[in-house]
A and B are shown apart, each in its own frame.
Chain A
């Protein structure tokens, strides 16, 4: 069906600055908290728990960014690990190259910026590379029905893996070693906040409503003048960007990258986080990501009994049962805020974002 495409009716959406000062205050405090608790977390918590916390953060970024594609836009992407891989490899290569560059080291020493400032550079470049990959993959497949997208994203993850395995510059099949450890709590935490904030603002902007229109009824949306392909590609590229950032954090936490890390199971884990939390619920994704990350550690015990990955049996069974009995997941499309008392909710959400009433 070739509908007449017109420019979507958009008003200027204030992406970063919401009207509610209270809201801005909350976000600012949340971000500030990173630097207050970071040293405490770093020193006061045993390393095992620290690692789990870092993984929780990375998984939150992955789940929330995938939710933008799977939940809010209604496109089924199962290749998120592929974008994560792109971000991880690019970020690792960037930080390693800069770390080995004498000019950069001199600059760091003379200007007094912290040594781990190389991480955000790597993360950003990784994110941009992943977003570019997302754009490239999304462009052909998003014009078609969702099922094709699923296979193409899956295939894309496979292609990335094969390419990494055959690229000797990034270590080939044996992987990339000696990545500096840079993902401390502060960076992971602020990345999480930034991701949640951006996705949340995106969803509540007019762009976000375009995405919802695509999810609810693509054809009707198109008839209303929504450029559905553009909306989908935008969501896809943005999701890929944050997946790339998560990949970068992952690389600088694990300090070693192998192509096998980013296989289909990895993508699937992210999908189940989104589905369990509720497609279209950001806080749902956050809760599910934390829940499943902790659950995985708990299941490690069972895994030692059998020698195989019992985790995946449970995950897949959960997914099937969830789809059959409670397809909306834990939260549905509600946010955790919706469970709060009304008075607090009104304040937190500002007058605009109260469910149903949407700000132009």
Chain B
């Protein structure tokens, strides 16, 4: 039982990371129908920005939630900028061209960021300064069950960000414009919505969440390297598809489901197949319910 609960807790903290990344995927897909392959790399950028902010501002000397929030904001700002620049330089000029070109560009951007990241940050893994929070004495254990305080911090922060996002999407003018653009691009622009700005804003918002996920993952698994984004990025995409791509609640649900599935697979069955599971799930979901758990089936239009 303790072991079971332990897996659930691990799965929740892992799932919250996936959820933050999956939200960006699903939002971008919503407005552009584009799989932004570079999203995982934006998450990597977030982790590195967080690390360098903590190092350069010497935030470790003043541990506490305030310092963490400074690092988080820096990472989110850097990621949002990266998202904005990528959309502007690589995706916008191609908006009218065939979708396959856009997809190829996205893959190109993703690889470019990975390998330039290796040039700039070095290819060896670096340690994320987890000393930014002093949580030595707060380990809570019950029998075999150990709850890492970092996991709880990450989970809570992720949930707060998700609530904020939910508020932005469903309660603000920007969110309404985003939903309009995602519903129908041309119609939205006829209604006077500046679609280009809204798409930029969507990219920035999604990228900011990925950047935050980068910092939070640094807290839980403090080893970061320039290629760290690929796998979580793809898995988050699977989570987004699992929940129904384009659906914000679905992305969160899919992410937690994937987190649970992975954690149980590792805990109870074959740990070495961890990375294969997500793709197995993807193939199954495409086979049996391509619209995802919460998605609605949209007929393709001519």
Contact = CB atoms under 8 A, between A and B. Distances in A.
Query: Which size class do A's interface residues fall under?
Result: 35 or more
A327 interface: yes
Contact of B300 (A147, A152, A219, A306): A219
Contacts of B94: 323-324, 327
- Binding site secondary structure of chain A: helix
A110 to B, nearest CB: 45
B105 A152 contact: no
B283 interface: yes
Contact of A165 (B100, B116, B272, B299): B272
- Binding site secondary structure of chain B: helix
Query: Which size class do B's interface residues fall under?
Result: 35 or more
B103 interface: yes
A217 B98 CA distance: 11
Interface in A175-220: 219-220
A87 B280 CA distance: 21
Contact of B283 (A140, A268, A316, A320): A140
Interface string B103-118: 1110111111011101
A278 interface: no
Contacts of B119: 306, 308, 310, 313
A294 interface: no
B111 A158 contact: no
A151 B242 CA distance: 13
Contacts of A140: 283, 286-287
B123 interface: yes
Contacts of A145: 300
A93 to B, nearest CB: 21
B286 A144 contact: yes
B138 to A, nearest CB: 36
A271 interface: yes
Interface in A294-353: 306-310, 312-313, 315-317, 319-320, 323-324, 327
B34 to A, nearest CB: 8
A179 B266 CA distance: 34
B278 interface: yes
A149 B111 CA distance: 19
Nearest to B34: A147
Contacts of A320: 90, 105, 108-109, 112
A197 B247 CA distance: 46
Given A76-B100, A323-B108, 6 more contacts: A155-B282, A156-B283, A275-B104, A279-B100, A315-B111, A320-B90
Interface of B: 34-35, 90, 93-94, 97-101, 103-105, 107-112, 114-116, 118-119, 123, 230, 234, 237-238, 241, 270, 272-273, 275-276, 278-280, 282-283, 286-287, 290, 299-300, 302
Interface of A: 1, 70, 74, 76, 78, 137, 140-141, 143-148, 150-152, 154-156, 158-159, 162-163, 165-166, 219-220, 264-265, 268, 271, 275, 279, 306-310, 312-313, 315-317, 319-320, 323-324, 327
18 contacts: A1-B300, A141-B283, A145-B300, A146-B99, A150-B103, A151-B282, A156-B283, A162-B276, A271-B107, A312-B111, A316-B112, A320-B90, A323-B94, A323-B101, A323-B104, A324-B90, A324-B94, A324-B105
